[in-house]
Amino acid sequence: MKTSNALLPLVGVAILLAVWGLTTALKLVDPVLLPSPLATFRTLWEGMLSGKLGADFLKTVMRTISSTAIAAVIAIPLGILLGSSEKLYRSVEFLIDFFRSTPASAMFPLFLVLFGVGDRTKISVAAFGAALVILFNVAYGVMNARKTRLLAAKVMGASRTRVLFDVMLLESLPQTFVGLRNGVSLALVIIVVAEMFIGSTDGLGQRVFEAQQLFDMPGMYAAIFAAGALGYTLNLLFLLIERRFVHWAGR
Amino acid sequence: MRVTSLAPSVATGGFDESRRTAPHVTIRGLSKHYPDAVIYDRFDLDIPRGKLISVFGPNGCGKSTLINMIAGLVPADAGEVLFDGRPLSRVKFGYVFQNYREALFPWLPAFDNIAYPLKVMGMPKAEREQRVERLVAHLGVKIDLALYPYHLSGGQQQLVSIMRALVVEPEILFLDEPFSALDYEMTLFMRDQLQRVFMETRTTTVLVSHDLEEAVYLSDHVLLLSRHPARVVEFVPYDAPRPRTDKTLSEPDFVATKAHCLKLFQREVRRG
């Protein structure tokens, strides 16, 4: 019973592959537009192992990770600072919400002017988008620290600094991880779009775009799946880190 | 500063601590108002040493506010609270919250939760562990303290909270409706745990309760408060010997004390 439950998520995958396989086998769709699953996954496998796809994949990983890391280094301390004073947060809340709602892709031209064509632009736009998401979550995590827990520490004679480090920081960790997970997802989206359109020569976005231009459909699907796998893995990675370090979340 | 004269001097040589009769806590002229109500208006009270006091009264009369003001969680508008003539800042005290789930630190195992106030005091790790182990042995607690709070039952979590409050060897212990979030079975068990703790330590204890049976069963005095602005309706003594058991609940003086408190309580409720 238990093993069968663990296999449930595979049902959807099996159905998708079956429908896809059947569609291509019966030639319901032009084979040029939709290659068979086998051809697609062979291209993916070979591309990842020996071809350019693997290199592009790593490039996108590096860019996404560095932009998220930059965002975290800036946004976490700032979020703690803003969150620890509600007045301070309220006074910049509009700015944060405004820029959080601004599509980061609309900022490309601005960042191009600032940083030129290259990695610095892609990484800084993604970092900008991710930082706002992380900042907002960290600040709310700190502001929503349980009052009883803060009082309990205070009653035991803890100083303000001690309350901040021993209680507030840990109280905000679950929300911080929500921010990090959303931040890394957003960073990946921005990086892939940037790779497509701002003079890139590598990266998954560029790979998808180029495959489409060359009408290399298996290559395009392979690159899309690689991007999907990357997004899923990054999310899973943060979830595992969260479970390890924030074992009390939701309990 | 009319209280200064009442404050007992520091114990001198040959003085037997346990026989001191001067009140432990003196509350004079305590006042507190919220925008919509005056909760306390020049409230006076003496809390006797080494006794367990239950605070009981109508809803919203400020039972919790009283101990929160004494323990410094809520600032008073006016008035003075002195512990043997000293201000709160010079007193070691323990406080147990109603909501144990939010009062414990879920990122620390139960053991470290109990040791936390010692860490705040700057005590070295080895000594902290020794202190906690001594307390555990002293109270005969049988909980796996390596577990995180969310793996413990509600009663166990509250027991951990109580131990966290006791580990500093406080001279006074405050409990704000500590058992009201527990089911009845656990409440009965925890009452007896608290009774044991009190018999072992004889720490001056102030317990806010919304359950009259519990208030009488555990206490040496029931402090009956009126509707706000709160006055002392009566400071009802109850001196049945400890340990009190299920049998105590049906003994004539328990029944009579409880009935007396209930009568005063209902008169207060109707007055509102």
CA-CA distance, A118 to A199, in Å (whole number)?
A: 8
The nearest CA of chain A is from the CA of B154 a distance in Å of: 13
Contact residues on chain A for B164, CB-CB shorter than 8 A:
156
Q: Give the list of residues 6+ apart from residue A191 with CB closer than 8 angstroms, or none.
A: A60, A63, A64, A67, A122, A123, A126, A203, A205
Contact check, Cβ <8 Å, B106/A148: no
Nearest-Cα residue of chain B relative to residue A167: B105
Residue B8: the pLDDT is 44
Domain A51-245 has CATH 3.30.1600.10: no
pLDDT digits (tens, 9 = 90+) for A213-223: 999 999 999 99
Residue B19: the pLDDT is 60
Residue B18: the pLDDT is 56
Q: Is A244 on the interface with B (CB under 8 A)?
A: no
Chain A to chain B Cβ contacts (< 8 Å): 45
Residue B10: the pLDDT is 45
Contact check, Cβ <8 Å, B102/A148: yes
Residue A104: the pLDDT is 87
Q: Is A94 on the interface with B (CB under 8 A)?
A: no
SS3 for B51?
coil
pLDDT digits (tens, 9 = 90+) for B161-202: 999 999 999 999 999 999 988 888 888 888 998 999 899 889
Contact residues on chain A for B95, CB-CB shorter than 8 A:
152, 155
Q: Is A240 on the interface with B (CB under 8 A)?
A: no
pLDDT digits (tens, 9 = 90+) for B106-161: 999 999 999 999 999 999 999 999 999 999 998 888 899 999 999 999 989 999 99
pLDDT class of B272 with cuts at 50, 70, 90: low
CB-CB contact of B47 with B28 (8 Å): no
- Delimit the domains of chain B by residue range: 98-170
Residue B17: the pLDDT is 56
Contact check, Cβ <8 Å, B120/A247: no
Torsion, Cα of A194, A199, A203, A207 (10° steps): 100
What would the two tokens of residue B213 be?
């049976």
Contact check, Cβ <8 Å, B105/A148: no
CA-CA distance, B77 to B94, in Å (whole number)?
A: 23
pLDDT digits (tens, 9 = 90+) for B3-60: 444 444 444 444 555 566 788 999 999 999 999 889 999 999 999 999 999 999 998 8
Q: Is B107 on the interface with A (CB under 8 A)?
A: yes
Of B71, B102, B106, the CB nearest to A248: B106
The nearest CA of chain B is from the CA of A243 a distance in Å of: 12
Contact check, Cβ <8 Å, A251/B150: yes
Contact residues on chain A for B104, CB-CB shorter than 8 A:
152
Q: Is B256 on the interface with A (CB under 8 A)?
A: no
φ, ψ for residue B213 (rounded to 5)? -60, -45
Q: Which of residues 134-163 of A touch B (CB under 8 A)?
A: 146, 148-149, 151-158, 162
- Delimit the domains of chain A by residue range: 51-245
Contact residues on chain B for A248, CB-CB shorter than 8 A:
106-107, 148, 150
Q: Is B120 on the interface with A (CB under 8 A)?
A: yes
Confirm whether the ipTM is greater than 0.95. no
With CA atoms as reference, report the closest residue to B225 among B66, B93, B34: B66
Residue A4: the pLDDT is 77
The nearest CA of chain A is from the CA of B175 a distance in Å of: 12
The nearest CA of chain A is from the CA of B258 a distance in Å of: 32
CA-CA distance, B78 to B10, in Å (whole number)?
A: 26
The residue type found at A212 is Q
SS (H, E, C) B196-245: HHHHHHCCEEEEECCCHHHHHHHCCEEEEECCCCCCEEEEEECCCCCCCC
- Over the range A193-222, which residues count as b (16 or more CB within 10 Å of their CB) and which as e? bbbbebebebbbbbbbbbbeeeebbbbbbb
CB-CB contact of A187 with A68 (8 Å): yes
Taking the CA atoms of A144, A149, A154 and A160 in sequence, report the sign of the dihedral they define.
negative
CB-CB contact of B228 with B43 (8 Å): no
With CA atoms as reference, report the closest residue to B151 among B224, B101, B91: B101
Q: What tens-digit pLDDT sequence spans chain A (251 residues)?
A: 567 788 888 999 999 999 999 999 998 888 888 999 999 999 999 999 987 899 999 999 999 999 999 999 999 999 999 998 889 999 999 999 999 999 988 988 899 899 888 889 999 999 999 999 999 999 999 998 888 999 999 999 999 889 988 999 999 999 999 999 999 999 999 999 999 988 788 999 999 999 999 999 999 999 999 999 999 999 999 999 999 989 998 77
Residue A99: the pLDDT is 92
**Mean pLDDT of all residues in B203-209:** 95
**Apex CA A234: angle with CA A232 and CA A240, to 5°?**
100
Residue A201: the pLDDT is 87
Of all residues in chain A, the percent with pLDDT exceeding 90 is 71
Q: Is B238 on the interface with A (CB under 8 A)?
A: no
pLDDT digits (tens, 9 = 90+) for B85-105: 899 989 999 999 999 999 999
